[in-house]
Amino acid sequence: MAHDNDSFIREVNEELRSDRISSVWRRFRYYIIGGAALIVLGTAGYRGYEYWHSHNASVYGDQFIAALELAKDNKTDEALAALQTLEAEGGGSYPVLARLRSATLLSQKGDAAGAIAAFNQVAGDSSVPQIVRDVAKMRAAWLLIDTGTYAQVSAEVEVMAVPNHALRHSAREALGLSAYKAGDIQKAKQWFQDIANDAQSPRNVANRAQIMLDTIAASGKAP
């Protein structure tokens, strides 16, 4: 008898649960269906975005490589046009890469002033990562060694010629060469000596600095 009672109670409980579920479904079915649809659409949208992002990155990468190939084939004007399109319409890091490469092509064409201006535009763009901005300043400084003054080179990179800065070696070399070109032998010697004294200076940079120090010593102009 007790077993029959237990079975009856279980059946009643199941019916009650079933009634409650039915009641909840009748009252909130549209919200439940809508929520499920949002989850499905959200997942589909995320997957779609992933595909779109990956696809676009691939497209922009292909466009950048195609522009580099044009430059390699000495089709500079065509390469510049392709890079300008990528700068205007591309996504991710490619517009910045296009700007840097365009500036390099201008320098190769002999337009040093245009190249320096282009590098300075990148250097002054706060939306660009700082390391890229520093590289742009460095490129401008190296062009200014030939076309500008020591003060102009210093304005670009002396702030980087400090211990622990990633680009200090190139900055010191640019400053040393610019000072030497300007006839300021004492300042040139100091910059080249800073390179020689830095145990982390790349070997090629250190070797060039030592050559310049030897040249300065041999000239008898060193103080």
> How many domains are there within the chain?
1
Does this model's pTM top 0.85? My answer is: no
Q: Has residue 38 been placed in a domain?
A: yes
More confident residue, 179 or 36: 179
CA dist., res. 64 & res. 57, Å (int): 10
61: domain range? 7-94
Q: Has residue 121 been placed in a domain?
A: no
Q: Has residue 71 been placed in a domain?
A: yes
Q: Has residue 72 been placed in a domain?
A: yes
Query: Highest mean pLDDT range out of 13-17, 82-86, 107-111, 191-195?
Result: 191-195
Indicate if the pLDDT at residue 161 is higher than 80: yes
Across all residues in the chain, what is the average pLDDT? 80
Q: Has residue 41 been placed in a domain?
A: yes
Reported as a single tens digit per residue, the pLDDT across 187-215 is 999 999 999 999 999 999 999 999 999 99
Phi-psi region of 162 (alpha: psi -120 to 50; beta: other; left: phi over 0): beta
Give the pLDDT score at 97. Answer: 87
Read off the pLDDT of each residue in 156-185 and give the average, rounded to a whole number: 94
Q: Has residue 58 been placed in a domain?
A: yes
Reported as a single tens digit per residue, the pLDDT across 118-159 is 999 999 999 999 999 999 999 999 999 999 999 999 999 999
Q: Among 7-21, 130-144, 170-184, which is the least confidently predicted range? A: 7-21
Q: Has residue 54 been placed in a domain?
A: yes
Give the pLDDT score at 150. Answer: 96
Q: Has residue 180 been placed in a domain?
A: no
- Is residue 95 within 8 Å of residue 121, measured between CB atoms? no
- Is residue 209 within 8 Å of residue 195, measured between CB atoms? yes
